[in-house]
Structure 1
Amino acid sequence: MTLLTVRDLTVDFAGGVRAVDGLDLDLAAGAVLGVVGESGSGKSVTSLAIMGLLPDARITGEVRFDGDRLTGLDRRALRRLRGDRIAMIFQDPLSCLNPYYPVGFQIAEAYRAHRRAGRREGHRVAVRMLDRVGIPEPERRARAYPHEFSGGMRQRVMIAMALCLEPDLLIADEPTTALDVTVQAQILELMRELRERSGTAIMLITHDMGVVAGLADEVVVMYGGRAVERGRVREVFYRPRDAYTKGLLACVPRVDGPLPDRLPTLSAPEVTA
């Protein structure tokens, strides 16, 4: 069953800047879709448009979630969906967490906002979620502040907050950026386990082809705000059709061969006013 459908999505900003140009996406329930491309290709803007978090942009096209149209919904209706059935993990967990409140309080508030639960129940949920994402001594760490956590631990807190309501769709925007390789592997394994346990569909936004190879079922390659290639991960990786996809894959370091003398380059895409 298709959970998320995006058709002809276009996002324009002031000054005639078109960040997304006629994008189509499909994500099945319980599946993982990787959205890849270099910085500025429109990946993050796409996720924000789906979430209704671009109030100053001109957005056209259609976004449907579980059959219901999201584009054009009022703020109150979107707020009921966000965090409850659709959750998002942003790139920088430190800037997304409030430095003035303990992490347990922030997770509990996200839960209470949608479940109308009391403080005690919210706290129990926060501690349970911290334990679920692998944070040791969750009862004690729930009282700690964001600056007392490492980058990987803060990302785990964001995942706990996003999943405390067991959403149907999780949008993860560069969830392993700026993390060392060991922590990256732990975060990806955590997302894999949560998907298997809860059946949550994941839209994984990244520039890292290795992350997509390890977690996604299907992949969409974006360049200049457009989808230049899409398909099953194995097909795209082993039989890429588009020149940009081939160049992107050629830039990935290999352990079974010499490094290339020069990285491949492409001409800049046309800018649509």
Structure 2
Amino acid sequence: MSLLTVRELTVDFRTGVRAVDRLDLDLDAGQVLGVVGESGSGKSVTSLAVLGLLQGATVGGRIHFDGQELTALDQRALRRLRGNRIAMVFQDPLSCLNPYYPVAFQIAEAYRAHHRAGRKEAHRVAVRMLERVGIPEPERRARSYPHEFSGGMRQRVMIAMALCLEPDLLIADEPTTALDVTVQAQILDLLRELREEAGTAIMLITHDMGVVAGLADHVVVMHGGRAVERGTVRDVFHRPQQAYTRGLLACVPRIDGPLPHRLPTLEATV
């Protein structure tokens, strides 16, 4: 049985826009599912719908997590589930971290929200998590504020906050966007280690096909709110069936051939 099962998911905004249209997803425990597509294809909206974080939108369909129907839960039950069993790493860590508090305090408060723990115990957990995600001198950097960290280090802090409760599912929304290639590789290595050591399932949302190739087991390609192709990474990358998927793959720079004179384009209605 899948850890996360999404069936016929639809998301309609008050403006009349249908951002997600009859989407199906399956994610097993300990697996990595890549959800890919261009900006505006519905990837992030899907993740927010799973977490029950959409405001001003109507969500239809079924979302099962470990046997629970999430769409039937009230906000109090969803808050207990979020962070505790399902965690999310958002695209822009600087906007998600509070600039007025040290990073360890913010991780500790996330821990205390779900555990009956004192401040000292929660602080020890926060420092241990900073060390786990590769922050150097975690005891000292625990007292630092978000603006004192680089973009890659802030992303590590967000991952530490998400993982302090050892969730069963981690949703990573564009975790490597705006990071240089060296830091991207470090973040991907960290996610890979967490998956292997803790058995955490990961929903990886990205437009970067190279990131998916390096980390995911299965992939769903989204376009216009719909899943236009799905399968194992090997099948989708080596035998893409849809023109849209082939276009995405053709935009990935290659080192084994000449650079194209122009990127491929697809006719579509937004």
Scaled by the length of structure 1, what TM-score is found?
A: 0.98
- In the alignment, the residues of structure 1 paired with residue 15 and residue 204 of structure 2 have an alpha-carbon distance, to the nearest angstrom, of 29
Counterpart of 1:39?
Answer: 39
Q: Deviations over 1:105-148 (max 9, x none)?
A: 00000001001211011000000000000001101111110000
**How far apart in 2 are the matches of 1:71 and 1:242?**
31
2: CA distance between counterparts of 1:263 and 1:215?
Answer: 25
Deviation of residue 262 (structure 1)? 2.4
* Whole-angstrom CA distance in 1 between matches of 2:82 and 2:244: 34
| Residue matched to 1:122 | 122
Alpha-carbon shift at residue 39 of structure 1 (Å): 0.2
**1:184-222 Cα distance to aligned partner (Å, 9 max, x none):** 000000000011111000000000000000000000000
Give the superposition deviation at 1:265.
1.4
Partner of 1:216: 216
Q: Which amino acid aligns with 1:185?
A: A
Equivalent residues in 2 for 1:30-179 (5 A)?
A: 30-179=30-179
Alpha-carbon distance in 1 for matches of 2:56, 2:67: 26
Cα distance in 2 for partners of 1:81, 1:4 equals 13
Q: CA deviation at 1:267?
A: 1.7
TM-score of the pair, normalised by structure 2 = 0.99
Q: Which residue is 1:20 aligned to? A: 20
**Could you tell me how far 1:266 is from its partner in structure 2?**
1.4
Match of 2:237 in 1: 237
| Structure 2 unmatched ranges of 5 or more | none
CA distance in 2 between partners of 1:79 and 1:149 (Å): 29
Partner Cα separation in structure 1 for residue 15 and residue 118 of structure 2: 47
Q: What is residue 201 of structure 2 aligned with on the other side? A: 201
Runs of 4 or more above 2 Å deviation = none
Q: Secondary structure of the residue that 2:55 maps to in structure 1?
A: coil
Shift of 1:156: 0.2
What per-residue deviation string (whole Å, max 9, x for no partner) do you get for residues 49-102 of structure 1?
000000310110000000110013111000000000000000000000000000
Looking at structure 1, the residues matched to 109 and 165 of structure 2 have their Cα atoms a distance apart, in angstroms, of 11
| Aligned mates of 2:177, 2:15 — CA distance in 1 | 30
Give ranges in structure 1 of 5+ residues lacking alignment. Answer: none
1:261 deviation in Å? 2.1
Distance in 1 separating the partners of 2:104 and 2:237: 41
Q: 2 CA distance for matches of 1:65 and 1:72?
A: 12
Q: Tell me which residue corresponds to 2:188.
A: 188
Partner of 2:259: 259
For 2:28 and 2:211, how far apart are their aligned partners in 1? 19
Alpha-carbon distance in 1 for matches of 2:69, 2:85: 14
Q: Which whole-Å deviations, capped at 9, do the CAs of 1:137-169 have from their partners, x for residues lacking one?
A: 101111110000000000000000000000000
